[in-house]
């Protein structure tokens, strides 16, 4: 299993996320986010979306080994001509496992991320020649993933 976790326990992850699934699903549906569960056998659900800068973003809801819930996030933009991925991240933070707290934190985090401009806070990660150069720019830009455009919060 490439990039997988040999110790991944699907039943345990399903038990952990079951009480949160409704809140996560309602939030994802209301904001037009794709849910990706346990990518490469990670103990996380990801909320995936297109970012306004032309890149992609994810909010990670991760089960810690101690059984806590952490939120983190990242946005990346690939610049084909430079063979470089630019990334900006939000560090992991603990969040309470109740629906109101979780929904409030998800709302706050997504709204913040959607305002990010493509600027110096994005770190360059060059060196993707081998992975990307076998495609034309058009093929590269048409290749997956294809995440949805998120719905922004209504402004008060």
Each residue's pLDDT, cut to its tens digit, for the chain (156 residues) gives 456 677 889 999 999 999 999 999 999 999 999 999 999 999 999 999 999 999 999 999 999 999 999 999 999 999 999 999 999 999 999 999 999 999 999 999 999 999 999 999 999 999 999 999 999 999 999 998 899 999 988 765
What is the structure's pLDDT at 3? Answer: 65
What is the structure's pLDDT at 39? Answer: 92
Three-state SS for 16?
A: helix
- Confirm whether pTM is higher than 0.85: yes
What is the structure's pLDDT at 5? Answer: 77
On the CB side of 141, how many CA atoms lie within 13 Å of its CA? 8
| Tokens coding 19 | 């009480």
Cα–Cα distance, 98 to 121 (Å, whole number): 32
Please give the span between the terminal C-alpha atoms of the chain, in angstroms, as a whole number. 47
Asked whether 56 and 88 are in contact (CB, 8 A), the reply is no
Crossing angle for the helix pair 99-113 and 10-31, to the nearest 10 degrees: 60
What is the structure's pLDDT at 113? Answer: 97
What is the structure's pLDDT at 124? Answer: 98
The enclosing H or E element of 105 equals helix 99-113
What is the structure's pLDDT at 1? Answer: 44
What is the structure's pLDDT at 153? Answer: 83
Query: Given its phi and psi angles, is residue 115 left (phi above 0), alpha (psi -120 to 50 degrees) or beta?
Result: alpha
Which among 156, 94, 84 is positioned nearest to 125, based on CA atoms? 84
What is the structure's pLDDT at 7? Answer: 82
Task: Name the residue with tokens 């770190």.
Answer: 123
């Amino acid at each position: 299993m490439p990039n997988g976790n040999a110790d991944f326990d699907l039943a345990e992850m399903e038990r952990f996320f079951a009480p949160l699934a409704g809140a996560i699903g309602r939030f994802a549906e209301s904001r037009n986010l794709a849910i990706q569960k346990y990518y490469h056998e990670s103990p996380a659900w990801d909320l995936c979306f297109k970012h306004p800068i032309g890149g992609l973003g994810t909010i990670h809801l991760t089960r810690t080994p101690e059984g806590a819930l952490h939120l983190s996030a990242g946005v990346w933009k690939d610049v084909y001509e430079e063979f470089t991925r630019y990334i900006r991240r939000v560090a992991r933070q603990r969040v309470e496992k109740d629906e109101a707290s979780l929904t409030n934190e998800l709302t706050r985090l997504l709204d913040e991320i959607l305002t990010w401009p493509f600027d110096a806070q994005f770190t360059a990660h060059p060196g993707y020649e081998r992975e990307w150069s076998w495609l034309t720019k058009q093929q590269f830009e048409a290749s997956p993933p294809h995440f949805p455009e998120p719905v922004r919060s209504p402004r008060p």
